[in-house]
Structure 1
Amino acid sequence: MNTTVNEANARLKVAISEAAQRLRNAMREATTGLIDRDHLAELMILAAVAQEHVLVIGPPGTAKSAVVRRVAQSLGGQYFEYLLGRFTEPAELFGPVNLNKLREGTVETDIAGMLPEAEIAFLDEVFLGSTAILNSLLGLLNERQFRRGHTRIRCPLRICVGAANDLPDDEGLAAFADRFLLHVFIDSVPDARLEDLLEGGWQMNRRQVNAYADLASLDVLNRAVPLVDMNAIRSDLAQAIRQLRQANISLSDRRIVKAQQLIAAATVLAGRQIASKADLWPLIYVIPTAMGQRNAREILRDTLAHAQHPLLHAVVEVASQQPMARLGRLLETADQLLAETDTANKVKPVEALLREIDANFDQSSMPETLQARRQQLMGLLEAN
């Protein structure tokens, strides 16, 4: 009996690992050519695994729609995108009333190709929707159900990304914004990376996004989330919430409880079944305001010192902004450089990586895995 259980667990672990790697490949494909937007793509994957939604706040022209569209293309599935305005009608999102049914006295909505059939959705300027639209969206986001007249359907929605330039001041709209568990704030690409922006944008317009994963990969990971053992970090999570409250950063009970879903999703994507302190970083994105997130990084500095992830490098770095959060990216970059055969053109990248490693870790604090890569990189430089 134990042998059978162990074999089943081993197969599940392999399936989860393979699914997570496929999603990682999809994220790489989606963000090629996009500068400083890796964290948004990774946050979308985390949200999809946790079966939650993302709100993106940032100025116009900061590639919000490009990231969402490319992630959707790399995952496959039915995609729906719409730019809302003050005069957007519900039918533009949910479909028109079926006139033939209406003549028979039945109010049914023709949803073919519309939001209720979408598996991945992007709603730009989401707060400009009318009361009727937002009310229908609440049911769709919370319960994955669409109700209108006699139409009652279960929606296949995996993730909805809403976008806006700013958070709303109106209390009613703020309550709607709260339905997006993850909030991420993005800015224009900084001056220091303008050359990268120009080069990436030029290349991006000349290549198609390939599907490196599929929604079946999400299914495997979705099923694994409820199986995560949260007992080991529950007291740490509670203490982090207390620290935030003491600093007047308040979270609703609903957001606090749902944060566990994100932590469990991060654990699954890391290939583990027991959550640890390394997985507490999603709490930063549960905080609804940009100022609250900035303050929380300092308040939870000791807690976030443990943050790291083998796949979600960028989003953990943004959340923690501490050395251990950079470990996964440093190791991956080192492996890529060590695997390259064109040694002449990788001297400068190797030197830059070594400088970054030494800036983040001294000899006593550097993990053994990174120490080994550093020695290999030094050997590569000496050979050149």
Structure 2
Amino acid sequence: MSDNMKKLKQIKEALNNKYMERESQIEGILVALLSRQHLLLIGPPGTAKSALSMELSQMIDESKYFQWLLTKYTTPDEVFGGIMLKDMEHGIYKHNTENKMAEAHLVFLDEIFKGSSEILNSLLKAINERTFENGTEEVDMPLMTLVGASNEYPEEDAGLNALFDRFMLRFEVDTIKSRDNLIAMMKGTRHLQQMPKISLEELENLQFLCEMVDIPDEIYEKMADIWQELRDEGIVPSDRRLQRSYSILQAKALIEQRQIVEIKDILFLEHVLWEDVEQKVQVSDIIRRHAQDVVSRMLEAVNEEADDIMKGLNKSDSTSYVLEATQKIKSLSKELKETKTKYPVRSRDIEIVSERLKRDLGILTNSVLEPIEEPV
């Protein structure tokens, strides 16, 4: 493993340790950075969308970062720089781009869909072509990745489809769900950790290495199968989205410390291949059917059912619910044992889920045990 690859792994692990329950979003922003694609984060305020982006920028030595909150009153000058008065005297409207988006490698724009049509039109070309018209010159931007954030998806009739389509990767972000993680977050001890660093040159070397990741023919065949089934269901990702999805697969493989794309990497495209939010579940199901084996799909279904059962405990801790939930968990455990017998080669994966079910049973048991009071 090269030093750069080690640093990539260290950055991912450090971010996961510091930002709890953000594993998929962290992987998403790293994939976006390696593949030089753009990423959208959808979720309520206070869910570390901007903090994660800023943290990553600080881990990249010599990089430039730009962050801005868009409103309907935001002008292009605020994002790209004010007009230089000296040039304006000669009829040239040139922006002072210092410390603005035009010079940034990583950009975070909050409330990305709240901007005026003027600023959004300016962003479209910058995001897609990574160029900026500054006076009479068209300037190349060093932009690697733009992270857009919003509290909600854009409305269908808001005229934002073109901007929405520019974000190859789309992730939802929610508040912390685990009680233990919530306590750890409130204590704030994880924020004291020393974060690893990578230089801008080393990151660019990783981006080059990403382009060299091999894509076997079976990946193209599998992608064609997915494309066909999506079309059969009336879901038609643009040719541009399909073509750029291969760079996403290469980045996903590189993050996994591989130089070849594997079938399982295609699962990551559930964050890529849908055009409308209502298509998300259907697209995910189609991708999983093609990119997951029988055991993996079964284990995921068991985990999802167990999640639903345990969520119900938060709403009702009555004895009757606990007894019913216990029986359901035991039934899932029995199903896992049968699967383990049938697919012994997957014993390790099955054991991981089995241990999770054992922990769930312990939680259910403890929820109905009455504390024994010491005699006075």
Q: What TM-score does the superposition give when structure 1 sets the normalisation length? A: 0.73
Within-5 A mapping of 1:193-232: 193-203=178-188, 206-207=191-192, 210-230=195-215, 231-232=217-218
Offset of residue 269 of structure 1: 2.9
Offset of residue 205 of structure 1: 7.9
1:156 equivalent in alignment to 2:134:
no
2:194 & 2:338 partners in 1: Cα distance? 34
2:298 & 2:47 partners in 1: Cα distance? 22
2:189 & 2:38 partners in 1: Cα distance? 26
State the match for 2:244 in structure 1: 258
Offset of residue 138 of structure 1: 1.5
1:296 equivalent in alignment to 2:283:
yes
**Identity value in percent:** 28
Conserved 8 A contact 2:340-2:346: no
Counterparts in 2 of 1:85 and 1:228: CA distance versus 1, 3 Å: same
How many pairs align? 315
Gaps of 5+ in 1: 1-13, 308-316, 327-354, 378-384
State the match for 1:362 in structure 2: 340
Conserved 8 A contact 2:112-2:148: yes
State the match for 1:36 in structure 2: 21
Conserved 8 A contact 1:120-1:159: yes
State the match for 1:146 in structure 2: 132
Which amino acid in the other structure matches residue 362 of structure 1?
K
State the match for 1:183 in structure 2: 170
Which structure has the larger Rg?
2
Offset of residue 200 of structure 1: 1.9
Counterparts in 2 of 1:360 and 1:292: CA distance versus 1, 3 Å: farther
Offset of residue 175 of structure 1: 1.4
2:12 & 2:337 partners in 1: Cα distance? 27
2:212 & 2:347 partners in 1: Cα distance? 29
State the match for 1:85 in structure 2: 71
State the match for 1:245 in structure 2: 231
Which amino acid in the other structure matches residue 80 of structure 1?
F
1:367 & 1:144 partners in 2: Cα distance? 48
State the match for 1:73 in structure 2: 58
Within-5 A mapping of 1:49-60: 49-60=34-45
2:191 & 2:210 partners in 1: Cα distance? 38
Deviates more, 1:266-275 or 1:69-78: 266-275
Counterparts in 2 of 1:367 and 1:53: CA distance versus 1, 3 Å: farther
Gaps of 5+ in 2: 304-332, 356-376
2:263 & 2:243 partners in 1: Cα distance? 17
Deviation string 1:325-371 (CA, Å, 9 cap, x unpaired) is x9xxxxxxxxxxxxxxxxxxxxxxxxxxxx9xx78972654657948
1:359 & 1:165 partners in 2: Cα distance? 42
2:258 & 2:236 partners in 1: Cα distance? 30
Conserved 8 A contact 1:280-1:304: yes
Please tell me the root mean square deviation across aligned C-alpha atoms, in Å.
3.1
Counterparts in 2 of 1:55 and 1:208: CA distance versus 1, 3 Å: same
Query: 3-state DSSP class of the match of 2:160?
Result: helix
Offset of residue 24 of structure 1: 2.2
State the match for 2:267 in structure 1: 281
1:29 & 1:125 partners in 2: Cα distance? 27
2:298 & 2:124 partners in 1: Cα distance? 34
State the match for 2:49 in structure 1: 64
Conserved 8 A contact 1:95-1:112: yes
Offset of residue 52 of structure 1: 0.3
Which amino acid in the other structure matches residue 140 of structure 2?
R
State the match for 1:21 in structure 2: 6
Counterparts in 2 of 1:272 and 1:361: CA distance versus 1, 3 Å: farther
Conserved 8 A contact 2:60-2:198: yes
Within-5 A mapping of 1:332-347: none
Offset of residue 51 of structure 1: 0.8
Query: 3-state DSSP class of the match of 1:280?
Result: helix
Conserved 8 A contact 1:27-1:71: no
Counterparts in 2 of 1:20 and 1:288: CA distance versus 1, 3 Å: farther
1:248 & 1:323 partners in 2: Cα distance? 26
Deviates more, 1:241-250 or 1:358-367: 358-367
State the match for 1:172 in structure 2: 159
Query: 3-state DSSP class of the match of 2:133?
Result: strand
Offset of residue 61 of structure 1: 2.2
Which amino acid in the other structure matches residue 276 of structure 1?
E
Query: 3-state DSSP class of the match of 1:32?
Result: helix
Which amino acid in the other structure matches residue 173 of structure 2?
I
Query: 3-state DSSP class of the match of 1:44?
Result: helix
Conserved 8 A contact 1:178-1:288: yes
Offset of residue 90 of structure 1: 1.3
2:189 & 2:124 partners in 1: Cα distance? 35
Counterparts in 2 of 1:365 and 1:217: CA distance versus 1, 3 Å: farther
Q: What TM-score does the superposition give when structure 2 sets the normalisation length? A: 0.74
